[in-house]
Structure 1
Amino acid sequence: MKKLTVLQTLPALHSGGVERGTLEIARALVAAGHRSIVASNGGRLVDQLVREGSEHIQIPVHRKSLASLFQIRPFRRLLRELKPDIVHARSRIPAWIAWLALRRMHPSTRPRFITTVHGLYSVSPYSAIMTKGEVVIAVSETVREYILTNYPSCPPERIKLIYRGVDPEEFPRGYQPSAQWLAKWKQDYPQLIGKKVLCLPGRITRLKGHEDFFSLLLKMKSQDSAVHGLIVGGVEEKKRPYLAELQARVAELGLSSDITFTGLRSDIREVFSQCDIVLSLSTQPETFGRTVLEALSIGTPVVGWSHGGVGEILNACYPTGAAQLNNQPDLQLKLIKTLSMKDHCINAKSFSLKNMCALTLDAYQQRPITN
């Protein structure tokens, strides 16, 4: 197997699924003896990336403006210096910079260009750059269908379906946190003790289905006073008015003592282990649904709308939790049934991190169709 130099590029390395996927592939490259480089504007995950054996090059490939065009020449100089075999773009602005830099390079020295479509972007010439890769990785069947439907100029044979995955060692079945963590959790959230905890994870945005969650809690409270809602997720500064709107709505519905907002948590595995059910109620289809898979991996059941990547995960791993989209009675029925079950037949093995990494490294090695 040829030893490769792979340059992944994305806007920054702060947090999120794209960032985590980048680090996971970087780690797999290093473990396989390849040279792993990431070009981004930096962020808190850079230290971990470097600690795990990769190199990081800070370059401003994050600005969504015409000013980013000034990064094309520096990026091209970087490519000539590093001589990577692969340039793997994971976001639109870095993809445009990389693609335009590559166009002026001689074919004999030009690295191969690979993209991963992580989102169901607005359909436009700007977004089309993510379908220009010699290999176009789709993170779910939902994404593959999105590409085929909206970008017919992308040859279907170039699209490679590679599901995201989780490490069963990081999210083991039956995981239980330390006694110290549990003591702190109970101290911070005594209102959860003895309750059936229903968790809605995700950033505070209008797309995450908070209103559906409140409606569900109201109906469940009328039947079972022991349920408690837990909203886990950070809020950007510009979304603070929406958070205040949600909190006012909770008070208006008389649910102030029944719903807890935790804010951003970096210990989501531990949090999920203390929940009876995790919910996924996004109003728009998710491209994948990593938190859903993490919950299922440790054995916490998930109930959610069966659409997008989340629907794919639920139908493959835990069909009991797949509710018909926007059908509140079906959602409530699935929730009641799940709460009544003592044992949950969950199989998350088909979405493994090991498989994701192996398929991605295989895509790096294979010569793609270029017609």
Structure 2
Amino acid sequence: MRILHILNHTRRLNGNVHAAVDLACAQVKLGHNVCMASGGGDFDRLLARNAVEVAFLDQERKPLALLKSLWTLRRLIRDWKPDIVHAHMMTSAVLSAPICRLSSTPLITTVHNAFEKSAVLMGLGTRVIAVSEAVGKSMQQRGISASKLHVVLNGTIGSARFEGRDRTPASLRGRSILFVGGLHPRKGLPDLLEAFRVAHEKYPESHLYIAGGGPFEAAYLQLATETGCANAITFVGAIDEPFPYMLAADIFVLPSHADPAPLVLSEAREAACAVIGTSVDGIPQLLGFGEAGILVPPRDPQTLAAVLCELLADPGKLDMWKARSQLHINNLTIERVARETLSIYKSVRSPGAETVSA
């Protein structure tokens, strides 16, 4: 099968990009011809190394640039002759839809961030992939028919991005708690800082590590100083490879207020951390609905603190949750994601397949 993926860019520190790059590389390994058209970025070399063709498609949101992009994409589809076009971002979907209609090429779209108002435009696809059951329900509520929606849960284990990765655990202090994510309100870091303040009072040997960058970094640094235990909180900064921290951490916490299907949870589970996540969006599904990780309410530092204290107080319980992180871990592989996605492609290419209007 010839598969053309469309992305705004291929820069790091963007979960949509990571998921699309992982998928493209996995599809090549399964024997398909794959091309990635985007504005370029950090992952272009990785794509080329994994035999994914790379095409430049500037998708800057300016009228003249978008008109030029339409022409470039039309020519690419005409010359490369894909069996499937797969768009991963709103601009990509809007650009692809008219050209796919003209060329009778099925358009698949993936909704990565359902909380964005523009996500409803992903309904332009012949089929729409939701990255978790929660995202699928959200898109149905916003008017996308169930007949064109398919859920393919995110997974990263076995990703080409991780080939040759350093598997040497980082050197962390005490009973270590780790957060990895962007430093902005949606990720709920202030809740974790408050929960850690409470837990640290009872277990002063505990230490919190925060890996990530973002617009609220200065504000969160100030919050950390106000906890009274700033010497037990380390801001690692934005790093390309947090896996060594995960390998060394005892507890991984994702206190998000909204998170469609965060890739970081499959990494934390692969590293065999005891995982705590909030019961929002796709997090419960990624944690086996509570079987492979502990679920707590969002925006509830006191409950989070109580769970942290339980794990810090009882090494046996901590080890139990580390072991439970491995339950059904094979469901989080990129190969499973690729195969499920390919089955959706085949459903719109098979003889007599119904074409669903947008």
Q: Structure 2 CA distance, aligned partners of 1:64 and 1:169?
A: 31
Letter in 2 for 1:158: K
2:101 matches 1:128: no
Q: 1:44 aligns with which of 42, 45, 53?
A: 42
Q: Structure 2 CA distance, aligned partners of 1:156 and 1:100?
A: 22
Residue 224 of structure 1 aligns with which residue? 203
1:150-189 mapped onto 2 (5 Å cutoff) = 150-151=142-143, 154-167=144-157, 177-178=167-168, 185-186=170-171
1:174-253 mapped onto 2 (5 Å cutoff) = 177-178=167-168, 185-186=170-171, 192-193=172-173, 195-235=174-214, 239=215, 242-253=216-227
Letter in 2 for 1:363: I
Gap regions ≥5 residues in structure 1: 187-191
| Residues 26, 281 of structure 1: alpha-carbon distance in 2 compared, 3 angstrom cutoff | same
Instruction: Quote how far apart the aligned CAs of 1:212 are.
Output: 0.7
1:2-41 mapped onto 2 (5 Å cutoff) = 4-15=1-12, 16-41=14-39
User: 1:199 aligns to what SS in structure 2?
Assistant: strand
2:65 matches 1:88: no
Instruction: Quote how far apart the aligned CAs of 1:319 are.
Output: 5.3
Q: Deviations over 1:94-121 (max 9, x none)?
A: 1111113334x2xxx4211110111114
| Residues 170, 35 of structure 1: alpha-carbon distance in 2 compared, 3 angstrom cutoff | closer
| Residues 65, 282 of structure 1: alpha-carbon distance in 2 compared, 3 angstrom cutoff | farther
| Residues 320, 361 of structure 1: alpha-carbon distance in 2 compared, 3 angstrom cutoff | closer
Instruction: Quote how far apart the aligned CAs of 1:230 are.
Output: 0.7
Instruction: Quote how far apart the aligned CAs of 1:10 are.
Output: 0.6
Q: Structure 1 CA distance, aligned partners of 2:335 and 2:311?
A: 30
Instruction: Quote how far apart the aligned CAs of 1:320 are.
Output: 5.1
Q: Structure 2 CA distance, aligned partners of 1:56 and 1:357?
A: 19
Q: 1:288 aligns with which of 258, 261, 268?
A: 261
Q: Structure 1 CA distance, aligned partners of 2:105 and 2:251?
A: 46
Letter in 2 for 1:5: R
Q: Structure 1 CA distance, aligned partners of 2:189 and 2:29?
A: 41
2:256 matches 1:256: no
User: 1:343 aligns to what SS in structure 2?
Assistant: helix
Q: Structure 2 CA distance, aligned partners of 1:360 and 1:334?
A: 37
Q: Structure 2 CA distance, aligned partners of 1:9 and 1:96?
A: 11
TM-score (norm 1): 0.85
Q: 2:252 aligns with which of 278, 283, 296?
A: 278
User: 2:187 aligns to what SS in structure 1?
Assistant: coil
1:328-343 mapped onto 2 (5 Å cutoff) = 328-339=301-312, 340=314, 341=317, 342-343=319-320
Letter in 2 for 1:133: G
Q: Structure 2 CA distance, aligned partners of 1:310 and 1:116?
A: 18
Residue 336 of structure 2 aligns with which residue? 355
| Residues 67, 198 of structure 1: alpha-carbon distance in 2 compared, 3 angstrom cutoff | farther
Q: Deviations over 1:282-334 (max 9, x none)?
A: 12x21102111211122101112111111222243645511123333322222
Instruction: Quote how far apart the aligned CAs of 1:169 are.
Output: 8.8
**Is the 8 Å Cα contact of residues 158 and 369 (structure 1) preserved in structure 2?**
no
Residue 119 of structure 1 aligns with which residue? 113
User: 1:257 aligns to what SS in structure 2?
Assistant: helix
Residue 271 of structure 2 aligns with which residue? 298
**Is the 8 Å Cα contact of residues 203 and 234 (structure 1) preserved in structure 2?**
yes
| Residues 171, 227 of structure 1: alpha-carbon distance in 2 compared, 3 angstrom cutoff | farther
Residue 347 of structure 2 aligns with which residue? 366
Q: Structure 2 CA distance, aligned partners of 1:286 and 1:250?
A: 23
| Residues 157, 23 of structure 1: alpha-carbon distance in 2 compared, 3 angstrom cutoff | same
Q: Structure 1 CA distance, aligned partners of 2:160 and 2:53?
A: 24
**Is the 8 Å Cα contact of residues 302 and 318 (structure 1) preserved in structure 2?**
no
User: 2:167 aligns to what SS in structure 1?
Assistant: coil
Instruction: Quote how far apart the aligned CAs of 1:338 are.
Output: 2.9
Residue 101 of structure 1 aligns with which residue? 99
Instruction: Quote how far apart the aligned CAs of 1:29 are.
Output: 2.5
User: 1:355 aligns to what SS in structure 2?
Assistant: helix
| Residues 167, 131 of structure 1: alpha-carbon distance in 2 compared, 3 angstrom cutoff | same
Aligned-pair Cα RMSD in Å:
2.3
**Is the 8 Å Cα contact of residues 279 and 302 (structure 1) preserved in structure 2?**
yes
Q: Structure 2 CA distance, aligned partners of 1:166 and 1:160?
A: 19
Residue 189 of structure 1 aligns with which residue? none
Gap regions ≥5 residues in structure 2: none
Residue 322 of structure 1 aligns with which residue? 295
Greater relative contact order (CA < 8 Å, ≥ 6 in sequence): 2
